[in-house]
Every structure is written in C-alpha cells, then in structure tokens.
C-alpha cells in the first residue's frame, strides 16, 4: 500500500517561520539588555571606586590628587546627569575649601547646577559662589547675585529705590549708599547725616568702586600676592569675629564684682599727696649759707627769693613753683634730683630744706607752702577703670583656656630648637 504525501500548507509554514524569528529576536533583546545592564553596573562600580579613592586622597591632605580622581569619575558618568552634578559639586567644593581656587570652584558649581538645577546642595553652592566672586574681587557681581537669590520677585533687586549714581549699567541706589554708611562707626554715620557730607561720601564711594573694577579688569584678583593678602585679611577678620564671640563675648563683670574689688583694694586708689612749693636757687655754697642765715633771722622767704634767687623765671613770683604731686616729676626749675624728691616728700607744711647741691652745681632751698593729706578716690571715679581691668584679666584667662583646648584638640607641637638652634629635649 503506497503512502500518499500530504501537500504543504503555505500559511502554516509562514507561521512557523514567524514564530522562530520572534523567538530569536526576543533572545537577542534579552542578551543585549543583560549585557547593557552589566556594562552600566560596571561603570557605576568604577565611578564609585574613583569617588572612594578621591575621598581617601582628601583625608590624607591631597586635594589636587582627589580632583584627578573626581575628574576621572566625571568622565565615566557621561550618561547620568544627576551623578555628574554631584561630582561637579564635590570638585567645586574641593577647589573652594582646600585649594582656594575660586575661579575653578565657581565654574564647577555652575556645571553642577546645569546638570541638576534642583541639586540638594544648591543653596550652599549659591552661597559659596557669592563668596567666590567676593574673593575674586567681583563684589558687585557678588552683590547682584545675592540680590537675585534673595529677591522676593525675580526683578526685585537691591538697587531698587532712588538711584543716586550709575557705573555704566550698574545702578547705585539710596539703599545701597545707606548700607555702606551703616558699616561705618557711629560718629561718622552721624557726620554723614548732613546731605552735603553724604553727597561727598557718595563721590568717594564711586571712586573706590571705579578703582576696584579697574583692578579687576587688570586681573589683580588673580595675582598670587594679592590673593595671599586677601587670605590674610580674611583670616584677620575671622580671628576678630571668633575672639569677640568665644573670648570677649564669653566674659562679663557685674557691678557687684566691681564694688567688691574696690572695697578690697582701696590702697590702689589712694591719691598721692600734693605739695605747693617755693624755692630759692643760689649760685654757690657761700650764697646758700648766707640765705639760710637771712631766713633764720626772720627774712621773708618770698622777699628773699625776689632779692637773691638766680632763677629768673621764678624770682619775680617770690620763688613760687606751683603744685607738685608726690608720684609725679619735680618742677622743671628743680631738675630731676632723686635726693631732692625724697627730702621734699619728708617735709611737713611750712617746712623748708637745707641747701641742696644739684647736678648743675647750684644750690636749692625748697619750702612746702601747702601739703594735702592722701585721699582715696571715690568709687564713682574709678568704677569704669576697675570694670575694664577685671574684664581684661578675665579675657586673658579665657583666651588661655580656649588656646589650651585648641592646642590639645589639634595636637600642636612647636619645635623651638629649630629656631633657637638648641638641641631638642628628650
């Protein structure tokens, strides 16, 4: 019995071929997907590895090397805008904080915001960008940028209000001028309340702005020496602010403490005695002996001074020298004679010295016309002095405490022998 061949159904054959083609295509898509996913995973791992290495470099104080690793990671993360934004932020932060390269930092912060306008650190980058502009000497750009960032409306800038001057297309408003004046000391602010003086200040302010902008155009903000001076000035400002907050601001003196100090240290506020003095200056010992004899014979001291004193300045005044404070210098006519000072200090009112020979060779006879008793200065007169002294002492103590804590925290070691040339102690 012969087997008969069935005819092939063309429609069914085509269907089988289509199924096989679909199956092959699905397999290919799956392979490509897996391969791509693996590739992306490998890239992500390489980016993470670079970032970790950069962090290690930073921790070891190698910011420039960290930048190299961050840049390598940035090159790998080409298809991931969010990651590129974060890497640009990290690079900008390193330039800003560690390398103090403010131009580079500004550029990378701009790139970060370009790749991700809603970056989590956008506010911080904006603040740092303003500071970069300030450090580069572009204070006007910094101010405008800050104004745009803080404006209630996009067109609400700090230069709103009455315009008092223009520098090209940059306006200076009355509010801007007043802000500059508020930075001055109270006495100067009061002086500038006069409209004429305020107008003169505006002229000076415009001149300073013009010179500053000229310096920027000359590229001085990038000059290494200028940058070092700017860093030094910034450090001084920071130091003063920290001192005011952590040292001066942490010290107080109460009125009760001032009073207690006064009561316990009254001798410190004792007023020295005051003497009203007269003198007769003689040319030699013989004249001095004769003068003593005349005085002991009842001759008036004043009349004798007018008659025989060789000091022309005091002779016509009867030898009067005026007042002398016990702890102060002797009157000029007496010279600087330690022995004379001691002798006068031992006199009571109305007494006179024996003739005393001075370094110039002349002889002096000195009389005390009046002698005041020592007194204690009133508390009201010395209250501010005591408060200032106590505050100064406490600030010095506080400063020592703060420095001791900082030295311990930072593990400070000073090698004095390297400067003094001595052998290090063991």
Which pLDDT belongs to residue 266?
92
Task: Count other C-beta atoms under 10 Å from residue 390's C-beta.
Answer: 18
Same domain for 260 and 389 = yes
Closest CA to 339 of 363, 315, 321: 363
| Helices and strands (DSSP H and E) totals, the chain | 17, 8
- The DSSP result for 87-145, as a single string, is HHHHHHHHIIIII--HHHHHHHHHHHHHH-TT-TTHHHHHHHHHHHHHHTT-HHHHHHH
Count up the domains in the chain and report the number: 4
pLDDT higher than threshold 60 for residue 277 = yes
**Strand 356-357, strand 363-371: pairing:** antiparallel
Q: Could you tell me what percent of the chain has a pLDDT over 70?
A: 83
14 occurs within a structural domain: no
Same domain for 223 and 210 = yes
218 occurs within a structural domain: yes
Q: How far is CA 296 from CA 138, 161, 343, 346, 352, in A?
A: 86, 88, 19, 20, 11
33 occurs within a structural domain: no
pLDDT higher than threshold 90 for residue 198 = yes
Range ranked top by mean pLDDT from 48-57, 99-108, 169-178, 255-264: 255-264
Report pLDDT digits (tens) over 113-144: 999 988 988 888 988 888 888 787 665 566 66
Same domain for 124 and 61 = yes
Same domain for 298 and 337 = yes
Tokens of 17: 């071929």
Q: Alpha helix locations (H) across 192-282?
A: 195-217, 224-246, 255-264
Read off the CATH number of the domain in which 277 is found. Answer: 3.10.50.40
pLDDT higher than threshold 60 for residue 35 = no
Please state the rounded mean pLDDT for residues 148-170. 62
Same domain for 384 and 335 = no
Higher-scoring residue by pLDDT: 8, 357: 357
pLDDT higher than threshold 90 for residue 237 = yes
Which pLDDT belongs to residue 30?
53
348 occurs within a structural domain: yes
Q: How far is CA 59 from its chain centroid? A: 28
Report pLDDT digits (tens) over 330-366: 898 888 778 888 899 889 999 999 999 988 889 999 9
Same domain for 283 and 341 = yes
pLDDT higher than threshold 60 for residue 29 = no
19 occurs within a structural domain: no
Same domain for 362 and 392 = no
78 occurs within a structural domain: yes
User: How many residues would you count in the chain?
Assistant: 426
20 pLDDT tier (thresholds 50, 70, 90): low
pLDDT higher than threshold 80 for residue 161 = no
Which pLDDT belongs to residue 21?
57
Higher-scoring residue by pLDDT: 202, 61: 202
Read off the CATH number of the domain in which 85 is found. Answer: 1.25.40.10
- Domain of residue 348: give its range: 273-373
Same domain for 186 and 116 = no
Beta bridge partners of residue 172, listed in sequence order: 165
Report pLDDT digits (tens) over 37-50: 444 457 778 888 88
Higher-scoring residue by pLDDT: 209, 158: 209
236 pLDDT tier (thresholds 50, 70, 90): very high
pLDDT higher than threshold 90 for residue 197 = yes
Closest CA to 367 of 375, 356, 359, 376: 356
142 occurs within a structural domain: no
pLDDT higher than threshold 80 for residue 412 = yes
Query: Among 73-82, 88-97, 148-157, 231-240, which stretch is predicted with the lowest mean pLDDT?
Result: 148-157
- The pTM is what? 0.46
What is the distance between the alpha carbons of residues 74 and 46, in angstroms, rounded to a whole number?
Answer: 11
Range ranked top by mean pLDDT from 269-273, 363-367, 415-419: 363-367
Closest CA to 126 of 101, 100, 145, 102: 145
What is the distance between the alpha carbons of residues 216 and 210, in angstroms, rounded to a whole number?
Answer: 10
What is the distance between the alpha carbons of residues 395 and 379, in angstroms, rounded to a whole number?
Answer: 23
Same domain for 124 and 100 = yes
Beta bridge partners of residue 170, listed in sequence order: 167
- Report the chain's mean pLDDT, rounded to a whole number: 84
Q: Are 202 and 165 in contact (CB under 8 A)?
A: yes
Which pLDDT belongs to residue 156?
38
Q: Could you tell me what percent of the chain has a pLDDT over 90?
A: 47
pLDDT higher than threshold 80 for residue 9 = no
Same domain for 368 and 403 = no
Same domain for 204 and 262 = no
Which pLDDT belongs to residue 47?
84
Please state the rounded mean pLDDT for residues 276-280. 95
Please state the rounded mean pLDDT for residues 252-269. 94
What is the distance between the alpha carbons of residues 423 and 416, in angstroms, rounded to a whole number?
Answer: 9
Please state the rounded mean pLDDT for residues 392-402. 96
24 occurs within a structural domain: no
Same domain for 382 and 261 = yes
């Amino acid at each position: 019995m012969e087997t008969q061949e069935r005819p092939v159904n063309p429609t069914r054959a085509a269907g089988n071929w289509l199924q096989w083609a679909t199956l092959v295509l699905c397999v290919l898509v799956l392979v490509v997907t897996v391969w791509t996913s693996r590739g992306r995973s490998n890239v992500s791992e390489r980016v993470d590895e670079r970032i970790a290495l950069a962090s290690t470099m930073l921790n070891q104080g190698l910011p420039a090397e960290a930048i190299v690793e961050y840049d390598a990671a940035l090159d790998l993360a080409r298809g991931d805008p969010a990651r590129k934004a974060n890497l640009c932020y990290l690079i900008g932060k390193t330039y800003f904080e560690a390398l103090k390269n403010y131009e580079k930092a500004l550029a990378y912060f701009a790139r970060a915001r370009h790749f991700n306008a809603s970056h989590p650190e956008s506010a911080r980058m904006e603040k740092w960008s303003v500071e970069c502009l300030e450090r580069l000497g572009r204070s006007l750009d910094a101010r405008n940028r800050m104004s745009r960032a803080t404006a209630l409306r996009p067109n609400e800038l700090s230069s709103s209000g009455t315009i008092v001057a223009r520098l090209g297309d940059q306006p200076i408003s009355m509010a801007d001028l007043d802000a500059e004046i508020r930075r001055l000391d109270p006495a100067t602010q009061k002086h500038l309340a006069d409209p004429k003086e305020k107008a003169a200040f505006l002229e000076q302010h415009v001149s300073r702005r013009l010179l500053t902008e000229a310096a920027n155009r000359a590229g001085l903000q990038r000059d290494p020496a200028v940058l070092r001076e700017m860093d030094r000035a910034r450090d001084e400002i920071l130091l003063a602010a920290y001192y005011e907050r952590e040292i001066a601001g942490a010290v107080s003196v109460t009125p009760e403490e001032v009073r207690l100090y006064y009561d316990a240290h009254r001798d410190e506020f004792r007023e020295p005695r005051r003497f009203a003095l007269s003198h007769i200056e003689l040319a030699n010992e013989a004249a001095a002996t004769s003068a003593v004899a005349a005085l002991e014979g009842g001759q008036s001291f004043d009349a004798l001074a007018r008659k025989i004193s060789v000091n022309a300045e005091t002779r016509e005044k009867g030898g009067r020298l005026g007042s002398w404070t016990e702890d102060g210098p002797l009157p000029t006519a007496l010279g600087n004679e330690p022995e004379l000072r001691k002798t006068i200090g031992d006199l009571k009112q109305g007494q006179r010295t024996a003739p005393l020979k001075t370094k110039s060779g002349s002889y002096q006879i000195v009389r005390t016309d009046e002698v005041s008793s020592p007194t204690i200065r009133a508390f009201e007169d010395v209250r501010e002095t005591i408060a200032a002294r106590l505050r100064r002492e406490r600030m010095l103590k506080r400063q020592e405490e703060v420095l001791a804590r900082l030295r311990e925290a930072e593990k400070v070691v000073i090698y004095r022998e390297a400067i003094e040339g001595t052998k290090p102690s063991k």
